[in-house]
Amino acid sequence: MSTSRFVQLRLSNGLAVVIEVMPHVPSVACGFLARTGARDEHSALAGVSHFLEHMCFKGTARRDWQRINIEFDEMGSQYNAYTSKDRTFYYGWVRAEELERQLDLLADMMRSTLPAGEFDVEKQVVLEEIAMSGDDLSSNAYDLLYESLCPDSPLAWPVLGYERTIRELSVEQMRAYHASRYAPENLTLVVAGRVDPENVVAMAERLCGDWPAVEAGPRGPAPVLRSGVARRSLERFHQQAVVLAFPAAPGTHELNETAESIAAILGGSNSRFYWNIMQKGLSTQAAVFREEYGDFGLMVLYALCEPAHCERVLEAMRHEAQTLVEQGPEPKEVQRVKNLRRTSLAVEAEAPFYRLGQIVDDMEYHGQPRSAEERLAAVERVSDESIRDYLQQFPITGEGLLVSVGPRAWPES
C-alpha cells in the first residue's frame, strides 16, 4: 500500500523528532505533542493545560496573535490544537512547499510569551467554554464519570477546569507551568508527508535546538478506579444520560485492536446497541467508546433516554454486554467491524494529517511509529478467540461504575 519510511531521533536538548516520509502525497502535516494535560495539574491549577493551549496562539517574541492567524491563512493551513486528559497537540497541514514556514510558526508558538495583555481576554473565552459545557448533558455525564471513577487523581477534574480555578489563575502560574511541562524532553515534533528527512532535521535543529533543557518531572501514577453508583440531578435537561464504565486495556496492550472491535460490535454503526436499543425506541443515542491511556483504559457504555426509560435502558445495555461475553460475537459481526476498520485505516494512510494522529498514539503507547501495513496486520489478528480472551481479561459485566445525570434522581438510594 504505502512506500513510507520513518526517521526517529532526539536533539541534544531532549526534543524527540519523528518523521514519516510519504513520497506519494503532495502535502505535509506537522505538529508538536506536549505530554501534558489535566492529569498533570494540581487542584489549584485545574484547567491550566487547556487555557495554556489557547494562550500559545496569543503571541510570541516574534509574532502577535494577529500575525499568527494571518500566517496560518497565508499558507492555506488546516490547523488547530486540542487538549485532553493526558496530552496537548498543535498541528498544521499544508502543501509540501510550505513545510518550513508552517514548522517555523508552530515552533515559535511552543515558546509563547503568554502575553499578559491577552491573558484576561482569553480567560473570558475559557470561562464561556466552561459555561457552554455546563449546558451539555453529555459533558456533564463525562465529567461526573471521571469525578466518581478516580476522585483521588487529577484525572477527576475536567480538561476545561472549573470556573473558580480559571478565575483565580494568574499569568505567572501559567508561565511556571509552561516552563516545566513544555520542556524539550516533554515534547515531540511529528512530521508526515512529502519531505526530505535531512531537511526536516536541519529545520528542527535551527528552530528548536537552542531551547533550554529543563527537567519536566515524572507523571503521576495510574489512578485507582472505583465502582458503584454516581448520580447528579439536573432539572434543566429533558433527557437522562446513563453510563456504565469498566476498566479496560491500556493503550500499550497487545489486544487493543480487539478492544476496538468489541466497542464497534456493541456500540458502533449497525451495532447491537443500534438495533436492540435505539431501534426499539429505548434511546435516542446509544454507543460504546474507549478511553485509552498509557497505564490504564476504560470501556464506556453510554445512552441518552427519556427519564422514565432509565431502568429499561440500563437492563438492555447490561443484557447486550452479558450476551457478548457468554455467547461471543457472530462471525459476520467480526468481519463487518474488521472491514470498516480496514477501510478507515486505508483511507487515513493516504492523508498526512491522519497519519500525524496515528503516529502520536503510536509514540505514546508503543514507543515507535507503526506503518499502515502494521496497523492493518493488527486488525487481521482480531478473531472470535481474541475477543473472548479480551473479555476474560477485561470483563464488561458485573457492577462497574454506573453514572446517571439528568432531571430524574435515579437510581434511588
Query: Among candidates 154, 156, 162, which has minimal Cα distance to 133?
Result: 162
Q: Which domains does the chain have, with CATH numbers?
A: 5-208 (3.30.830.10), 228-406 (3.30.830.10)
The Cα 317–Cα 298 span in angstroms is 16
Residue 340 backbone class (left: φ over 0; alpha: ψ -120 to 50; beta: rest): alpha
Contacts of 389 (CB under 8 A, 6+ apart): 255, 258
pLDDT, one tens digit per residue, over 197-206 is: 999 999 999 9
pLDDT in tens, 263-294: 999 999 999 999 999 999 999 999 999 999 99
**Three-state DSSP state, 320:** helix
The pLDDT assigned to 220 comes to 82
Q: What is the DSSP string of 66-90?
A: HHHHHHHHHHT-EEEEEE-SS-EEE
At 1, is the pLDDT very low, low, confident or very high (cuts 50, 70, 90)? very low
Q: Which of 146-150, 264-268, 347-351 has the lowest mean pLDDT?
A: 347-351
Degrees, nearest 5: CA angle 317-323-324 = 95
* Residues forming beta bridges with residue 232, ordered by sequence position: 405
Give the separation between CA 393 and CA 80, rounded to whole angstroms: 37
Q: Residues 49, 50, 54, 55: what is their CA dihedral angle, to the nearest 10 degrees?
A: -20
Q: What does pTM read for this prediction?
A: 0.96
Taking CA 345 as the corner, what is the angle to CA 344 and CA 350, rounded to the nearest 5 degrees? 105
Beta bridge partners of 74: none
Task: Tell how far CA 27 is from the center of its chain.
Answer: 24
Tens of pLDDT along 390-403? Answer: 999 999 999 999 99
Kindly list the strands in the beta sheet with 5-10, ordered across the sheet, starting from the edge strand earlier in the chain. Answer: 5-10, 16-21, 187-193, 27-34, 88-95, 78-83
State the cell numbers at 274.
Answer: 443500534
Written as one string, the DSSP assignment of 145-165 is HHHHH-TTSGGGS-TT--HHH
pLDDT of residue 87: 97
